[in-house]
Chains A and B, each alone.
Chain A
Amino acid sequence: MNLEELVLPVLMVFFMLAAGAYTVAVLDRVIAGALGTPQAGSVWIAPLARGAWLMTQHANATEAPDWRAWRLAPALYLSLAAIGLAVVPWSGSLVATDLATSVVLWGSVEALATVVIFLHGWSANTLFALIGGYRYVALGLSYILISMFVLIGVALPAESLQFTQVVASQGELWNLIRQPLGLPLFLIVGLGMTFWGPLNLADSADLAGGTAAEISGPPRLVWDVARAAMLVAFSGVATSAFLGGWLGPWLPGPLWVVIKMLAVLLVLLLLGRLLPRLAPERCVTLMWVVLLPLSFIDLVWAGVGALL
């Protein structure tokens, strides 16, 4: 009993964490290669080689960092990604943790990501890392409302805050079509949450790496793996919320989830490679004045749709 209810779900989450982070690293290299950035060596080996190299590198230190917080922040970000992955349903019965309030839990993961990323920037005790942290807070506080309105919109037709119910409610029509504004807005949230591509304000190149400017070796490995894992967790949530999760013809449910997650990852990584980075001072205005009203419209749309 304990094996089935405790050990297997935990193993499932960690398998997804490792496999997902590796997939993100490979996909990103494939996309970079296809867009013209030359890749040294095989894209399949390169992520592993880089991981092993980081593991053996000397770790940098700053003058008086908050040691505990500095080491804790990457591990905590990894934990948030793991918790996000734990609420993603693979089929009607195959869910690591089928909480009745899993949508709320994912919301809290998004909110805590802001805290953890700021902690990472703050604890290094250097200027660039701190500015990266401040920038991220501006972004994080701006996108979180959009994310919440969009997710509430998904919960309305399901009459539940449980991701399995949300998927089950998409039997006739996926939320992608039923609430057309939802997924595009949610993808922007995903890029913000993992500070990837156009929304990479926290670890951007103009801050020499931002919150990660001073880390090298094993802490950087954990930080990079955590970012990739968070992208995977996000794509899992996007799949269950908008793309009908395990629903689909012919193939078994979990396989559909994997295919849809790969599709979401592909879109996110392509956006990350194709779009230029947004100016930080513009992104606050954009989020509050343009995207937040759009998410209101999405919510009203979802509400009217659920009542009809």
Chain B
Amino acid sequence: MELLTLFFVLLLSLGIGLLAQWLPMRQQSRPPWSQRAPFLGGGTPDSHAWSRYHIRYYPMTLLLIAFEMEMMFMYPWAVVFVEKGMKAMMEMGMFLAILSVGIVYAWREGVFKWQ
């Protein structure tokens, strides 16, 4: 029943969000082409969204994947933590320690410098 409610919340909010845009706009004409040029602070629109743009944080996103996988183990771990006691604490401590070495190494390599 909870999932069904959640599904209705999702469906209705999507519907409201789309209708609030579609209803007032269905009579509007599209703006002229001169207005549809990308806004570049008044400069001539000679660069566009397909221009080359170097995202310099790629290595950071790779490091994130390692941690995201760890999160998956952490959810069930959180539920049984008190029951298992010190053993669970040590296990996750070791896991986090190994991942932390990765952070320190990435930091040394300048992964978190985004400039």
Contact = CB atoms under 8 A, between A and B. Distances in A.
Nearest to B76: A161
A161 B20 contact: no
Contacts of A97: 2-3, 5-6, 9
Contacts of B18: 71-72, 75
Contacts, number: 207
A103 B92 CA distance: 19
| From B1, B5, B17, B39, residue with most partner A Cβ within 10 Å | B17
Interface string B65-98: 0010001001100111111011001001100100
B70 to A, nearest CB: 9
Please classify the interface of chain A as helix (H, G, I), strand (E, B), loop, or mixed, using the class held by over half of its residues: helix
B3 to A, nearest CB: 8
A83 interface: yes
Interface string A213-233: 110011101100010000000
A306 B103 contact: no
Given A6-B4, A157-B82, A161-B78, A79 B38 contact: no
Enumerate the 8 nearest inter-chain pairs by beta-carbon distance, A residue then B residue, closest first: A75-B17, A126-B38, A82-B13, A155-B78, A79-B13, A78-B17, A97-B2, A281-B115
A86 B6 contact: yes
Please classify the interface of chain B as helix (H, G, I), strand (E, B), loop, or mixed, using the class held by over half of its residues: helix
A129 B49 CA distance: 8
A171 B101 CA distance: 37
Contacts of B13: 14, 17, 75, 78-79, 81-83
A222 B20 CA distance: 7
B86 A307 contact: yes
A167 interface: no
A128 B51 CA distance: 12
Interface string A276-308: 000011001100110011001001100110110
B5 A127 contact: no
Interface in B1-37: 1-6, 8-10, 12-14, 16-18, 20-25, 28, 30-31, 33, 35-37
B73 to A, nearest CB: 11
A105 B75 CA distance: 11
Contacts of A281: 113-115
A267 interface: no
A221 B60 contact: no
Contacts of A72: 18
B82 A78 contact: no
